[in-house]
């Protein structure tokens, strides 16, 4: 029996066989020639490899629907594309091996697409992916990407990239475990969105042999091979509990009746409908990037208004907090952001793009106002990455010019938390984005597994910034509201601390609503305040988390 | 050589899903079909069954393209492809 420990990022206890995510395909050596073959045999070998990859992608496309299907179908066409194969065949005629030929042809085509810019440039990754698949096929290696299996499995990897996760099927995969990555990595965010148990930064799990049976505890952050009776019981209990946790009706209160509205983070009308079905009282974070992604030009006001209106209409009596365009860093947009910045996380992103591309924000606010005009939902608007009271004032002016009455700011830059009183004097509310707030407070990149301990919202420094924001808002005026819309709000123990610190509303993935509500209803406001004090006083993140969890026995009972 | 002109109806132009639908249809037709932007010389015409060629053509919504083919069934084949181009697949 061997055990691995890492950071638990999404609760749940399961048992199943593990499959490793295959590593990246390595580049065939430059100048590699075909030997003991002929031009005809080598081109035929390439063609059949390409056809096999095409067939594999087509059969995967047949299993999914919507955008994922369209992407896979287009990628399948690329695999045996006449242009790609023709360039490769020219190289084969000159003596190059099929593997090297398709590798170079892929680069040529990718460069050509990149040169065209915009939407085409964004497709270069698809061409390079297809090329790697063909090389793997020719060499008899496992295809890159999520392995296929006829029974549910635990997916192990070094880390998962957004591209890997696009095709991840939550009915096939029962847990995610990675040797790298932090609590805010794509793996963690995806796992929470899908409600899959997950452990990240568990050194060694990327070397466990395929098929090994494992027990994964996504709350404790542990992985165990050769599970025994105890683990089987724990997994069975979790399966039962997760069913009961799935029935939440909305209206969250603490044990003594203190109301804590639970809202959802959504990125489209479809998300919003799912969130409403899961019991969300409204939307605490409407990401508007969905209107802008995959576009090389700005969407029109009418297009935007229609998309926002779709979300507003899901919550006719609720609140919808819309975040204006948050481009830059990990969400580049060709018409707004400069991809050559040396340090995009500290670059022109979020509200800051207003300084380099003025007008886009004004038009977006106009679209929001138009969508809100006949909607009955309460529409609040906030700007991301606001660092100063001046920026908050400018944003409030833009909102009022557009006819929007409830302007707010995201607090994710530590300076905004430190000067919360001045900032909140300019706007009606603040929403804490714990992912970025943690990254900036601790100066630790969200994606780096090596910094997982620093990039932890339980760090007392981050908790102090939350408290400063709440205190600053109270000093700025009794009616100023403070919410949290970061991933951390989805951790039930952390949610208790946030409520104890005085946060008014919590917004999270729809999947997490029931668990958070169950745990909040087990404590009084005074108990939550006491746990928050303990967390603030803790010397480190581990102790903060440990002491709060020790004060919440319901977590153990529910397996959270 | 038979020629047909068509106006690209898809809002996003001839890439993404519309390009995939068109390339797939062109690939299923036994005759070889080329595509070029109207006004471009014939030697710049590209293989209509190649999604990568279609993407590099860069035809936007409202652009006119020229389809060309030879041989038996060419006329019918081109007519069916014109219908695909003149349908908005994003609607």
Residues A502 and A529 in one domain: yes
What one-character DSSP code corresponds to residue A96? Answer: B
pLDDT of residue A467: 98
Tell me, yes or no, whether A29 lies in a domain.
no
DSSP string, A392-447: HHHHHHHHHHHT---EEEEE-SHHHHHTHHHHHHHSSEEEE-HHHHHHHHHT--TT
Residues A133 and A208 in one domain: no
Which residue in A206, A472, A485, A205 sits closest to A326, CA to CA? A485
Tell me, yes or no, whether A55 lies in a domain.
yes
pLDDT of residue A101: 96
Question: CA A521, A527, A533, A534 torsion: positive or negative?
Answer: negative
Q: Using an 8 Å Cβ cutoff, are B17 and A43 in contact? A: no
Averaged pLDDT, B14-29:
87
C-alpha distance from residue A492 to each of A10, A427, A555, B62 (Å) = 11, 29, 8, 53
Tell me, yes or no, whether A31 lies in a domain.
no
User: Could you identify the residue written with the tokens 């065939």?
Assistant: A28
C-alpha distance from residue A88 to each of A36, A81, A168, B3 (Å) = 19, 11, 31, 30
**Angle formed at CA B29 by CA B26 and CA B34, multiple of 5 degrees:** 50
Tell me, yes or no, whether A33 lies in a domain.
no
Residues A457 and A470 in one domain: yes
Q: How far is A145 from chain B (nearest CA, A)?
A: 22
User: Could you identify the residue written with the tokens 């803790």?
Assistant: A538
Q: Any catalytic annotation for residue A186?
A: yes
CATH code: domain of residue A384: 3.20.20.60
pLDDT of residue A265: 94
Q: Domains in chain A: how many in total?
A: 3
- Cβ contact (<8 Å) for A74 and B20? yes
pLDDT of residue A89: 95
- Cβ contact (<8 Å) for A77 and B51? yes
Beta-bridge partners for A320: A283, A379
Residues A217 and A317 in one domain: no
Residues A342 and A487 in one domain: yes
C-alpha distance from residue A434 to each of A183, A462, A475, A544, B26 (Å) = 11, 8, 22, 16, 50
B55 contacts in chain A (CB < 8 Å)? 113, 116, 120, 123
Residues A253 and A239 in one domain: no
Residues A357 and A456 in one domain: yes
Assembly ipTM:
0.89
**Angle formed at CA A547 by CA A541 and CA A552, multiple of 5 degrees:** 125
Within chain A, which residues score under 70 in pLDDT? Answer: 67-68, 162-167, 244-247, 294, 329-332
- Cβ contact (<8 Å) for B51 and A120? no
- Top residue of A67, A82, A126, A296 to mutate, by most chain B CBs within 10 Å, is A82
Q: Any catalytic annotation for residue A464?
A: no
The full set of domains in chain B, from first to last, is: 2-85 (3.30.1340.10)
Tell me, yes or no, whether A34 lies in a domain.
no
Residue B33 tokens read as: 């079909």
Tell me, yes or no, whether A536 lies in a domain.
yes
What one-character DSSP code corresponds to residue A259? Answer: B
CATH code: domain of residue A93: 1.10.274.10
A119 contacts in chain B (CB < 8 Å)? 12, 15-16
Tell me, yes or no, whether A26 lies in a domain.
no
pLDDT more than 90, % of chain B: 46
Residues A224 and A317 in one domain: no
Beta-bridge partners for A381: A322, A407
pLDDT of residue A330: 65
Cα B37 to Cα A9: distance, rounded to the nearest angstrom: 52
Residues A232 and A301 in one domain: no
- The residue out of A204, A219, A243 marking a domain boundary is A243
CATH code: domain of residue A177: 3.50.30.10
Tell me, yes or no, whether A28 lies in a domain.
no
Domain residue limits at A327? 247-558
Residues A329 and A426 in one domain: yes
Q: Quick one: pLDDT band at residue B90, thresholds 50, 70, 90?
A: low
- The residue out of A139, A165, A199 marking a domain boundary is A139
Residues A121 and A162 in one domain: no
B20 contacts in chain A (CB < 8 Å)? 70, 73-74, 77
Residue B71 tokens read as: 């041989």
Averaged pLDDT, B50-71:
90
Residues A153 and A292 in one domain: no
- The residue out of A121, A139, A157 marking a domain boundary is A139
């Amino acid at each position: 029996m061997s055990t691995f420990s890492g950071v638990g990022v999404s609760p749940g206890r399961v048992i199943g066989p593990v499959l490793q995510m295959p590593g990246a395909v390595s580049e065939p050596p430059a100048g590699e020639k075909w030997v003991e073959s002929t031009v005809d045999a080598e081109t035929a070998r390439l063609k059949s490899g390409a056809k096999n990859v095409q067939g594999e992608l087509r059969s995967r496309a047949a299993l999914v629907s919507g955008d994922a299907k369209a992407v896979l179908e287009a990628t399948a066409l690329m695999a045996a594309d006449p242009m790609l194969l023709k360039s490769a065949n020219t190289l084969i005629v000159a003596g190059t091996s099929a593997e090297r030929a398709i590798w170079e042809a892929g680069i040529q085509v990718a460069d050509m697409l990149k040169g065209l810019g915009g939407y085409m440039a964004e497709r270069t990754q698809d061409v390079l992916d297809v090329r790697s698949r063909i090389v793997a096929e020719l060499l008899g290696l496992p295809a890159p990407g999520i392995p296929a299996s006829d029974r549910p499995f635990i997916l192990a990897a070094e880390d998962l990239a957004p591209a890997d996760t696009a095709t991840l099927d939550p009915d096939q995969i029962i847990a995610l475990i990675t040797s790298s990555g932090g609590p805010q990595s794509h793996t963690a965010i995806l796992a929470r969105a899908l409600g899959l148990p997950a452990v990240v930064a568990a050194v060694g799990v990327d070397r466990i042999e395929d098929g090994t049976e494992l027990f994964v505890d996504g709350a404790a952050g542990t992985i165990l091979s050769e599970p025994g009776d105890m683990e089987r019981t724990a997994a069975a209990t979790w399966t039962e509990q997760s069913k009961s946790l799935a029935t939440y009706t909305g209206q969250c209160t603490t044990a003594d009746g203190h109301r804590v509205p639970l809202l959802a983070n959504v990125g489209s009308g479809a998300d919003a409908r799912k969130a409403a079905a899961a019991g969300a009282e409204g939307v605490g974070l409407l990401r508007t990037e969905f209107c802008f992604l995959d576009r090389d030009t700005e969407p029109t006001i009418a297009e935007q208004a229609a998309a926002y209106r779709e979300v507003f209409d899901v919550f006719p009596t609720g609140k919808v907090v819309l975040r204006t365009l948050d481009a830059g860093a990990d969400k580049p947009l060709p018409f707004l952001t400069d991809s050559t910045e040396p340090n995009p996380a500290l670059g022109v992103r979020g509200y800051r793009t207003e300084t380099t591309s003025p007008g886009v924000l004004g038009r977006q606010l106009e679209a929001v106002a138009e969508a809100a005009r006949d909607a009955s939902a309460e529409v609040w608007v906030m700007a991301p990455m606001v660092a100063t009271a001046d920026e908050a004032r400018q944003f409030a002016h833009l909102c009022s010019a557009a006819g929007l009455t409830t302007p707010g700011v995201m607090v994710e830059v530590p300076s905004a938390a430190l000067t919360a009183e001045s900032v909140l004097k300019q706007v009606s509310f603040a929403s804490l984005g714990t992912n970025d707030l943690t990254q900036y407070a601790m100066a630790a990149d969200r994606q780096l597994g090596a910094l997982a301990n620093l990039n932890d919202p339980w760090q007392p420094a981050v908790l102090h910034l939350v408290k400063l924001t709440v205190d600053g808002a109270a000093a700025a005026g009794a009616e100023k509201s403070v919410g949290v819309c970061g991933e951390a709000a989805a951790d039930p123990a952390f949610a208790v601390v946030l409520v104890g610190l005085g946060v008014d509303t919590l917004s999270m993935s729809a999947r997490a609503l029931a668990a958070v509500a169950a745990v909040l209803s087990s404590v009084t406001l005074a108990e939550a305040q006491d746990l928050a004090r303990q967390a603030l006083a803790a010397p480190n993140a581990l102790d903060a988390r440990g002491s709060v969890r020790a004060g919440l026995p319901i977590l153990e009972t529910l397996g959270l | 050589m038979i020629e047909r002109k068509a106006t690209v109806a898809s809002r996003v132009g001839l890439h993404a899903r519309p390009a995939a639908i068109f390339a797939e249809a062109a690939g299923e037709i036994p005759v070889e079909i080329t595509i070029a932007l109207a006004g471009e010389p014939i030697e710049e015409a590209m293989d209509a069954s190649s999604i990568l060629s279609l993407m590099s053509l860069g035809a936007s919504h409202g652009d006119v393209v020229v389809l060309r083919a030879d041989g038996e069934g060419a006329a019918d084949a081109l007519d069916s492809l014109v219908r695909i181009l003149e349908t908005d697949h994003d609607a």
